[in-house]
């Protein structure tokens, strides 16, 4: 493994773990808000008949009603249920994504140089970046789907039904079979456009900013570097755009992953119907997603596809800000540690004999 791939992978994993752990309470509330449609139907409630998450009031499901109900019922611990699964998911997800992305970016750059193209100087570089990140996203989704389904079930389960990570995963297999661990894989496969847009926009904008900095300043032979504030602002902008474009798919994925939980959302029509007809895996997933989509539009209108958008934007923007700002520093530090020149200098410093005493 080259030092560049190692640095970018370690930087992505470290920064991803930090941002996802810090923002996990927002993730829990956001997931429960997005899954509210399934929960209401499981309880036989309509749009205005209770929150469907056990908050105990009446009216629409909002971030406030979900958070206040969670606090009343479970206290601070309720906001961190499933954190272990989230950490494990983040390790697998970020390792798979950043390793694959760095590897494919290196291949694309070598191919570009072989053609004599100037990297970063045309719109083709943005298209290449999106294609590379989409491919890395597909690898990531394939690796992480069982953990994502397990985490979503843990975050939306009632306090009396809560289990550990392994127990929840096994419960999914007993209830829905191995195919249940890949519920929502169809919307998830489409959601690879989210990191594709996010990282391609960030990398393209970063290259342009650094080019402007290099031209505008008299740095001599020193390469310009993006400041943490600059990385933070670019990360917020790129992630916000990606989230706005893909949020309907994000909500549909959550609904599909929770609709098979205990037969919720008219199991006889959606989940049970897929089992009875023998449609499992991707085919049943697509069928269930399609029915949930049209039912959601019929009952909540187009606005229903954007339930929980504000929380998702807040979580995504803050997470991207922390991730990109932290990743830049970790990558720089790891690159320095792995640099042959730096290692040689450190070895020389350690092995050099002490100065002679006169």
Backbone angles phi, psi at 267, to 5 degrees: -55, -35
**Host domain of residue 196:** 3-340
Give the residue-averaged pLDDT of 4-26: 84
Q: What is the pLDDT of residue 218?
A: 60
With 50 as the cut, is the pLDDT of residue 309 above it?
A: yes
The vertex-93 CA angle with 87 and 94, nearest 5°, equals 90
Query: Is 314 inside a domain boundary?
Result: yes
Question: b/e for 198-207, b at 16 or more Cβ within 10 A?
Answer: bbbbbbbbbb
* Position 350 confidence tier, pLDDT thresholds 50, 70, 90: very low
Which residues 6+ apart lie within 8 Å of 87 measured at CB?
Answer: 17, 20, 21
* Position 170 confidence tier, pLDDT thresholds 50, 70, 90: very high
Which residues 6+ apart lie within 8 Å of 46 measured at CB?
Answer: 40
* Range with lowest mean pLDDT among 21-25, 144-148, 229-233, 280-284: 280-284
CB 326 within 8 A of CB 14: yes
CATH of the domain at 294: 1.50.40.10
CA dihedral 258, 131, 212, 325 (to 10 degrees): 30
Query: Is 103 inside a domain boundary?
Result: yes
Instruction: Provide DSSP, 283-333.
Output: HHHHHHHHHHHHHHHHHH-GGGGGTTHHHHHHHHHHHHHHHHHHHHHHHHH
Give the residue-averaged pLDDT of 128-140: 83
Query: Whole-angstrom Cα distance, residue 122 to residue 275?
Result: 49
Query: Is 347 inside a domain boundary?
Result: no
Instruction: At 123, list the tokens.
Output: 């719109």
* Range with lowest mean pLDDT among 163-177, 248-262, 320-334, 344-358: 344-358
Residue in 301, 305, 315 with CA at minimum distance from that of residue 252? 305
Query: Is 267 inside a domain boundary?
Result: yes
Query: Is 355 inside a domain boundary?
Result: no
Domain count, the chain: 1
Query: Is 166 inside a domain boundary?
Result: yes
- Taking only the tens place, the pLDDT of each residue in 53-84 is 444 444 577 888 888 988 988 888 889 888 88
Query: Whole-angstrom Cα distance, residue 283 to residue 355?
Result: 74
Query: Is 351 inside a domain boundary?
Result: no
Query: Is 345 inside a domain boundary?
Result: no
The DSSP symbol for 56 reads -
- Where are the extended beta strands (E) located within 174-222? none
- If DSSP codes are grouped into helix, strand and coil, which group holds residue 265? coil
Q: Please report where in the chains the tokens 């020149």 appear, as a residue.
A: 341
- Taking only the tens place, the pLDDT of each residue in 107-116 is 887 887 777 6
């Amino acid at each position: 493994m080259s030092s560049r791939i190692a640095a970018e992978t370690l930087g992505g994993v470290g920064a991803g773990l930090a941002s996802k752990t810090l923002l996990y309470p927002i993730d829990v509330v956001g997931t429960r808000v997005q899954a509210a449609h399934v929960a209401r139907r499981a309880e036989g409630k309509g749009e205005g008949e209770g929150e469907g998450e056990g908050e105990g009031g009446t009216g629409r499901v909002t971030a406030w009603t979900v958070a206040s109900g969670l606090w009343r019922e479970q206290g601070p611990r309720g906001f961190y249920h499933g954190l272990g699964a989230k950490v494990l998911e983040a390790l697998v997800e970020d390792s798979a994504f950043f390793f694959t992305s760095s590897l494919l970016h290196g291949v694309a750059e070598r191919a570009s140089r072989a053609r004599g193209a100037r990297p970063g100087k045309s719109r083709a570089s943005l298209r290449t970046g999106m294609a590379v990140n989409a491919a890395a996203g597909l690898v990531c989704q394939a690796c992480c789907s069982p953990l994502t389904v397990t985490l979503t079930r843990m975050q939306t389960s009632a306090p009396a039904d809560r289990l550990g990570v392994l127990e929840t995963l096994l419960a999914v297999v007993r209830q829905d079979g191995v195919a249940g661990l890949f519920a929502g894989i169809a919307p998830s496969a489409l959601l690879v456009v989210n990191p594709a847009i996010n990282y391609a926009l960030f990398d393209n904008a970063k290259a342009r900013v650094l080019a402007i900095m290099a031209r505008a300043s008299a740095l001599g032979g020193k390469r310009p570097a993006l400041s943490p504030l600059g990385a933070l602002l670019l990360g917020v902008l790129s992630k916000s755009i990606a989230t706005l474009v893909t949020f309907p798919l994000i909500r549909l994925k959550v609904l599909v992953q929770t609709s098979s939980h205990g037969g919720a959302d008219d199991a006889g029509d959606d989940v049970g119907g897929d089992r009875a007809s023998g449609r499992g895996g991707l085919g049943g997933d697509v069928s269930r997603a399609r029915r949930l989509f049209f039912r959601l539009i019929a009952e909540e209108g187009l606005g229903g596809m954007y339930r929980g958008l504000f929380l998702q934007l807040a979580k995504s923007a803050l997470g991207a800000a922390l991730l990109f700002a932290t990743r830049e520093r970790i990558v720089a530090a790891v690159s320095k540690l792995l640099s042959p020149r730096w290692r040689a200098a450190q070895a020389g410093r350690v092995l050099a004999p002490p100065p002679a005493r006169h």
